[in-house]
Structure 1
Amino acid sequence: MKILLINPPSENELLGNNPSIIEEERGYNPPLGILYIAGYLERHTDFHVEVLDTQAEEIGYDRLGSIIRSKLPDVVGITTMTFTLIDVIKVVDLVKSVCPHTRVVLGGPHVHIYPEETITLPGVDFLVLGEGEISFKELAENIDNKTRLKSIPGLVFQENGRVINTGSRPLNDDLDSLPFPARHLTPIQKYRSLMAKRTPITTMFTSRGCPYRCTFCDRPHLGKSFRARSALNVVDEMEACVKLGIREFLIYDDTFTIDRQRVIDVCNEITRRRLNIGWDIRARVNNIDRELLKKLKEANCERIHYGVESGNPEILRILNKGITVDRVRTTFKETKDAGISVLAYFMIGCPKETRKEIMETIAFARELKPDFAHITIFTPFPATEIYKTGLKDGIIKHDFWKEFARNPKKGFQPPCWQEHFTREEIQELLVYAYKSFYTRPSYILKRLTHIRSPGEFIRMARAGLKVFGMRS
């Protein structure tokens, strides 16, 4: 059996009103979801597995159809998020037009939230819910036996016009048992980041599930139970990547520092093996301290991403962040004192927020002086508590996301929280926020003094031009 796993183009991605300034979120990053599935299939089956990362390969729709036809896959798997749904559907249409008998399987957070709506989209044969490695493998092995498929958890399909949903598969508690993502099936040298000191880069997950209850965030397909890989397993993957020529890692765990001892063990193991690498993590300001920062620095952790979100205590309470502005100040100072760079995430246009609170957040960003600030317009994502509250209270007039999932159309704009601002007003504030942070002479001078190569200068210059050229 030939299996082709596709990371779809992003030509129609729903970016909403948030311009891409910090490109580490929008650059070429390995599609870890399908790479985990590819690695699992390679270890446990004899199937011929290929990965097509159209974004890294810069493959548009003008070429994609002929590439799919040349490969003649029996099964195509496509990673699916709500924001990429239009492109996913275009890929599905292409697959069915050039290879009508190929089975199309969608997986990812969108299909987990909206299984009924997704399985009825034209050309979609199967959905894989939740963590997909085992379910995808068992689906592929039994794809022509619908009686058997009904007993495999984590699948959705149709039979005689009736939707069959076998329910979610229990979460995998033994993440060390999973093979590493099949990075060798991707164009490794093409993955990069604006902030990285080295190329190529890769992303990693060392855990799954987030126990925190921020009202604006939800990853239902991964659950709320924190499940972590062992320190040895994590560093084994890093060492395997080094052998592929990769020395820069972006750890994409929601919160890397939940298990303090595991962080220390990872750092000790990197140091013991003398790995010449650099890496970034995501952390909360309230579960990190000076000793941990020292350990991270010794293991050459170069940057920490903190979700600050707001400079106003009441907005932080509404978002259920569980942090204080004073703790943010303390942690940022301690991180800088340790010699580790900081990226800070902020949102504007949150529930109950007025211009006063937004200006407090913008001023707070300047006060903290992170190396990078990623500022977005608050978007109520599907399945989040805030989205449900917005519908209940009438701030969100109708279920935008469900309607889009049922009938995705090009040109759809993700909703913002229009309680005190129009979309145009909040866009103007976003432009002001970015310019007030990035166009400060002190910031520009600092960034220029930290540039280490002509390539980095070019990347920084491009990002700077984006900020200067922003329009509301």
Structure 2
Amino acid sequence: MPQPPKAKRPKWPGITWHSSDSSSHEPRVLGINPWITDFAAYNLWARPAGLLACLETLRQSGASIALLDCLDQMWQESPWPRRKNFGCGPYPRTPLPVPWYLSDVPRQFSRYGHAYETVRSALSHLSPPPDLVLITTAMTYWYPGAVQMLRLVREIWPRVPIAIGGVYPTLCPEHAATWSADLVLSGPLETGGNWQRVWSAMGGTAPPLPPQAGFNLALDLYAAPEYAPILGSRGCPYGCEYCASRHLYSGFVQRSFESVWQEFRAQYQAGVRDFAFYDDALLLRPTTWLLPFLHQICELPEPIRLHTPNAMHVQALTPEVCRALFRAGLTTIRLGLESGDFDHRFDAKLSAPQWQEGVDNLFAAGFRAQDIGAYILFGLPDQNEAEVLAAARLAAASGIRPQLAHFSPLPGTPLFERAVEVSDRPIAEDPLCQNNSIWPCVPGGFSWRTKRRWQEMLAQTMAAY
């Protein structure tokens, strides 16, 4: 069958208001996904899901919403690297001076995303102006991009209240409070009084929260998306010592199949064919929504591709789940191996028999080895090379490509205190030093020589099996 026509990207400036109704009195909320400031960044089906959930919740409650995503090609005129890998690819980048306390890191520090003047012009042309600006942050150590955006917004609209939310103010609220935002939103919008504070900042009274608050995403704000997220649950019941999931969202809540399917269907009808699961615990209680969702996908007139950039829990890869994933079009498979030492792990969710059974179930369902990668934690406090190599050998022996997942020490997690003790950087004082690109808990930190050596060792490990 012929492919549906792709929507053309809007011309400059690319920011438009989307109203909940025709009322001229509804408050206007602009959501901004700011630049990434880092030594490295690559787009793996990235969308600011938390911000999109906030905007949709506000729209359902009577607000008019708009989006500026500095990390997405929202305008025809913007130069952007061509993406060939199912919508993934590099971001445009602008070299920046390295922060002085990271000056010993032998890497180029950059701002990733749209050019500064492009963003400034787009904001300046937005009419009418917003009544509130929401700036999100996806990583604690990306806060400089959010701070620069805050200052730019303040310059353009001096009297418009600005709120900062996301991972950074949730895990580092005291540090986030130093940048003079009008609101520092720690945790989800719908909890902890954040909902009331946001409406109060706009001079109104908070209405009741709509159904599915925090789940529905304002994906229609992207005019011509190459990919879309699927969010079927929030939170994670596991308490891994290195993970901040429980601090970002307490508990574990799943959506209904009908809710997930309705959101997916709208993106499918818009021409999207690549979808990435955003769940932290995708495979838990699969009969709630996942299995009905996968079975329904098989009835679509045209196939799609599914991706799991977040590692799946291997112990939940039952034969039924694996077969359903294969038939539905799962293309990119990432597993959470993390360590090859099953007796001394920073989590208690995987055993050696469970690992082998889950991998066997994937192959029995029809998946190819080249489609599967196993994440192995690298750079943990007190970690030695033998632990990492053991995990790599285990993955390779199973026919799966090992991939290093670089450790980032996150405030509030059990491993953070030990990371503070072993790191030679002030990771508790400045979130910039929590950056996994600098290997903050590896003696001596990042080096190109060590990076190349690990690449060679992983290649040799795969070749040996």
Structures share fold, TM-score greater than 0.5: yes
CA spacing shift, 1:411–1:225, aligned 2, 3 Å: closer
Cα distance in 1 for partners of 2:324, 2:216 equals 25
Decide whether the 8 Å contact of 2:30 with 2:130 is kept in 1: yes
Matched, 1:32 2:49: yes
Cα distance in 1 for partners of 2:353, 2:249 equals 30
Listed one character per residue, the Cα deviations across residues 334-353 of structure 1 (whole Å, up to 9, x for unaligned) are: 21231233232112232332
Indicate the residue corresponding to 2:298 in structure 1.
271
CA spacing shift, 1:231–1:413, aligned 2, 3 Å: closer
Indicate the residue corresponding to 2:441 in structure 1.
417
Matched, 1:91 2:142: no
Matched, 1:342 2:372: yes
Listed one character per residue, the Cα deviations across residues 85-134 of structure 1 (whole Å, up to 9, x for unaligned) are: 01101111111122211211111122122223312313x11022222257
Identity of aligned residues (%): 21
Cα distance in 1 for partners of 2:403, 2:211 equals 31
Listed one character per residue, the Cα deviations across residues 409-464 of structure 1 (whole Å, up to 9, x for unaligned) are: 9999756224xx43257x64443333444589979xxxxxxxxxxxxxxxxxxxxx
User: 1:296-375 maps to which residues of 2 (within 5 A)?
Assistant: 296-314=325-343, 317-340=344-367, 341-370=371-400, 373-375=402-404
Matched, 1:49 2:65: yes
Decide whether the 8 Å contact of 1:332 with 1:368 is kept in 2: yes
Listed one character per residue, the Cα deviations across residues 268-308 of structure 1 (whole Å, up to 9, x for unaligned) are: 33335666322134421111211221122223333332111
- In the alignment, residue 455 of structure 2 is paired with which amino acid? Y
CA spacing shift, 1:60–1:307, aligned 2, 3 Å: same
How far is the alpha carbon of 1:138 from its aligned partner? 4.1
Matched, 1:132 2:189: yes
How far is the alpha carbon of 1:396 from its aligned partner? 4.0
Indicate the residue corresponding to 2:169 in structure 1.
111
- In the alignment, residue 84 of structure 1 is paired with which amino acid? W
Matched, 1:79 2:95: no
* Higher alpha-carbon deviation: 176-185 or 330-339: 176-185
Matched, 1:380 2:409: yes
Indicate the residue corresponding to 1:182 in structure 2.
218
Q: Which runs of 5+ in 1 are unaligned?
A: 154-171, 190-199, 444-472
Listed one character per residue, the Cα deviations across residues 222-273 of structure 1 (whole Å, up to 9, x for unaligned) are: 4342100112221222111111111221101012111032232222333356
TM-score by length of 1: 0.73
- In the alignment, residue 444 of structure 2 is paired with which amino acid? T
Cα distance in 2 for partners of 1:432, 1:412 equals 18
Instruction: Report how many aligned residue pairs link the two structures.
Output: 389
Cα distance in 1 for partners of 2:433, 2:379 equals 25
Instruction: Determine which of 454, 457, 465 is the counterpart of 1:433.
Output: 454
Cα distance in 2 for partners of 1:254, 1:238 equals 18
User: 1:239-254 maps to which residues of 2 (within 5 A)?
Assistant: 239-254=265-280
Decide whether the 8 Å contact of 1:130 with 1:222 is kept in 2: yes
Instruction: Determine which of 116, 128, 134 is the counterpart of 1:61.
Output: 116
Q: Secondary structure at the match of 2:317?
A: coil
Cα distance in 2 for partners of 1:337, 1:409 equals 43
TM-score by length of 2: 0.74
Indicate the residue corresponding to 2:35 in structure 1.
9
Decide whether the 8 Å contact of 1:56 with 1:187 is kept in 2: no
Listed one character per residue, the Cα deviations across residues 381-433 of structure 1 (whole Å, up to 9, x for unaligned) are: 22211112344xx32468x344115xx69999756224xx43257x6444333
User: 1:133-152 maps to which residues of 2 (within 5 A)?
Assistant: 138-143=196-201
Q: Secondary structure at the match of 2:120?
A: helix
Q: Secondary structure at the match of 2:201?
A: coil
Decide whether the 8 Å contact of 1:208 with 1:222 is kept in 2: no
Indicate the residue corresponding to 2:233 in structure 1.
207
Cα distance in 2 for partners of 1:304, 1:364 equals 17
Decide whether the 8 Å contact of 2:396 with 2:462 is kept in 1: no
Q: Secondary structure at the match of 1:331?
A: helix
Cα distance in 1 for partners of 2:284, 2:427 equals 31
Q: Secondary structure at the match of 2:408?
A: coil
Q: Secondary structure at the match of 1:380?
A: coil
Indicate the residue corresponding to 1:458 in structure 2.
none
- In the alignment, residue 71 of structure 2 is paired with which amino acid? Q
CA spacing shift, 1:274–1:232, aligned 2, 3 Å: farther
CA spacing shift, 1:413–1:255, aligned 2, 3 Å: closer
- In the alignment, residue 307 of structure 1 is paired with which amino acid? G
Which protein is richer in helix relative to its size? 1
Q: Secondary structure at the match of 1:334?
A: helix
How far is the alpha carbon of 1:83 from its aligned partner? 2.3
CA spacing shift, 1:374–1:62, aligned 2, 3 Å: farther
Indicate the residue corresponding to 2:256 in structure 1.
230
- In the alignment, residue 349 of structure 1 is paired with which amino acid? G
Matched, 1:295 2:324: yes
Q: Secondary structure at the match of 1:142?
A: helix
CA spacing shift, 1:414–1:100, aligned 2, 3 Å: farther
Q: Which runs of 5+ in 2 are unaligned?
A: 1-26, 74-112
